Amino acid sequence: MRRSSTPYLIKRLSKIINQWYVQRFIAPQFDSLGSIPEIAHPRSLVIFGRNIHLGKYAQIICAKDNCVRFTSWPSKQADAEIIIGDFCLISPGVRISAAKSIRIGDNCMFAANVIISDSDWHGIYNRIRPFRCTKSVVIENNVWLGERVIVNKGVTIGENSVVGAGSIVTKSIPANSVAAGNPARIIKIINPKRRMLKRELLFKDAEHYFYNQDQLDKYMLGNNGWWNWLRALLSPNRND
């Protein structure tokens, strides 16, 4: 569709239903949850395993054709863990799979189809079961991973760093770096003294932020009529 014909009240009702669904069916799957997250298409969020923690004011954008997946696999030694900090943005297709530990800091942004895994899942010579092929992953505060970035086991990505789209991270990246490539290499240094606006700023006054989001919906959709919306669903034309 070229534009949304959805009436504002339908969009508002959809948000209320989504919030109820998240609170009823999604929230209990986390071992801890800072606040009820904003999740687009929450039925496309797949959570498996224990020790999965999500901080406050998370925004998770799922898509019907591109699920977001958090998976922690148990072992004989201990259950794996996934810990995600506050104010994080997670886009469609992100997959986080832990056999030991994946820790993600505050204000992180993951673009579409990012993959983070702390294990090779099978040994080179023993391909029947995992054997000494797992190392923890740490992603520090305010890290931005571009589209289709792959983060491998044993990697630490330092605070404020950016990893370019399509990169494969096989070794740790220091703080305040821009890295790109396969394997990812540092191509630029970020000035840590320069003022940086982080996602937490959006929620400094959370009530005001959510009010503005609602007012934006009302402005964009307020003139959409019910009959035109039904017609667009049943018989769309070039104006839709």
Residues identified as active-site: 122
CB-CB contact of 104 with 111 (8 Å):
no
10-28 burial code (b ≥16 CB/10 A, e <16)? ebeeeeeebeeebeeebee
Distance CA 163, CA 150 (A): 10
Which residue's structure tokens are 């997959």? 95
CA atoms within 13 A on the CB side of 234: 6
Distance CA 154, CA 117 (A): 9
Within a 10 A sphere around the Cβ of 218, how many other Cβ atoms? 14
Sign of CA dihedral 4, 92, 111, 55: positive
Which residue's structure tokens are 């929230």? 27
